[in-house]
Amino acid sequence: MKMETPEGDIQSRIIELCQQFPQGIGDKVLQSSMNDVDPRERALGINKLLVDGKLDLFKSEGGLLYRLKTPSKASAIRGDQEEKVVFKIIEGAGNIGMWLRDIRLKSNLVQTQLTKVLKSLETKKLIKAVKCVNATKKRVYMLYNLEPDRSVTGGAWYSDQDFESEFVEILNQQCHRFLYHKLEKSRECQEGPIAAKHMSMSSSDEVLRFISDLGISKVQLRNEDIESILDTIIFDGKAEKSEGMDGAKLYRAIESLVPSAGLVRSPCGVCPVMKYCGDVGSVTPATCQYFKDWLQI
């Protein structure tokens, strides 16, 4: 039978564990590290920390994650209460940012008053206004030191809100060239068809290294950027994707049986918010600013 542990001690131990794992801690780690504490008491301690605003709760593929809540910087602002309120609202939006209308609704400030507060915070370099690529005439506000999310800027495929179709086309060609070269080399394999097929496959990491060595990109490409380009090659019927023994994504060039549909020529193949698009709803090809911009190219 587990002995009862003081509530304060349980919370302190949970906080210490969260400090050791700043990216978040799951129930399994809590259970193994606090196996001397009754599960009900541990759950009560977690709930108390959540209610007190000392922990944040997140969902992940492995289950729930608990993370220490970062104290708001609003209290350190030298200014009136209105600036602190607006700063805290924008802070909560993270790197997605917040529209002016939403800030006004949450702060209950009139337009002229809010404009003055935002200008003051921008002058102090506490916040910044970022142009949103899917709404070219609007801006979102976020903390000054944050890197905007790719759904805001368009990521590597946009420069000053313009879709870089030529850059995407070049990457598409070079990635396909790399995969096709491996396919041709695999045909020289004398160890059988299975070995030849394995030889023709590449991971996105390999393709990324190849593209990086070419030096054709002015921006730092990430693995997910290359995977989105490889997906356009698959959509064009020039490659296929499979999964390795370790769960890694593998790509292989194939001989196209029909002419390419050329999906890469439109921004849809590399759109950072494609998952939100559909035939109906708030985002459709007819209302998408990405697609409208491309039509004007």
pLDDT in tens, 188-228: 888 888 888 889 999 999 999 999 998 888 778 888 889 98
Domain boundaries, the chain: 7-68, 73-153, 158-295
Q: What is the pLDDT of residues 153-178, one digit of tens each?
A: 666 766 666 667 788 888 899 999 99
Q: What is the pLDDT of residue 177?
A: 92
Both structure tokens of 30: 């809590």
Same fold flag, 7-68 and 73-153: yes
Q: Note the pTM of the prediction, 2 decimals.
A: 0.49
Q: Which fold has domain 73-153?
A: Arc Repressor Mutant, subunit A (1.10.10)
Task: Confirm if 17 and 49 have CB atoms less than 8 A apart.
Answer: no
| pLDDT at 281 exceeding the cut of 50 | no
| Segment 71-82, tens digit of pLDDT | 666 666 776 888
> From CA 272, how far away is CA 133, in angstroms rounded?
11
For residue 134, which of 265, 291, 279 has the smallest C-alpha distance?
Answer: 291
Amino acid, res. 101: R
How is the chain split among helix, strand and coil, in percent rounded to 5? 50, 15, 35
Helical H segments across the chain, by residue range: 7-20, 27-33, 39-51, 81-92, 100-107, 111-123, 150-153, 165-186, 193-200, 204-214, 223-235, 289-295
We find that the CATH architecture of domain 7-68 is: Orthogonal Bundle (1.10)
- Largest Cα–Cα distance of the chain, in whole Å? 76
How confident is residue 116, by pLDDT bands cut at 50, 70 and 90?
very high
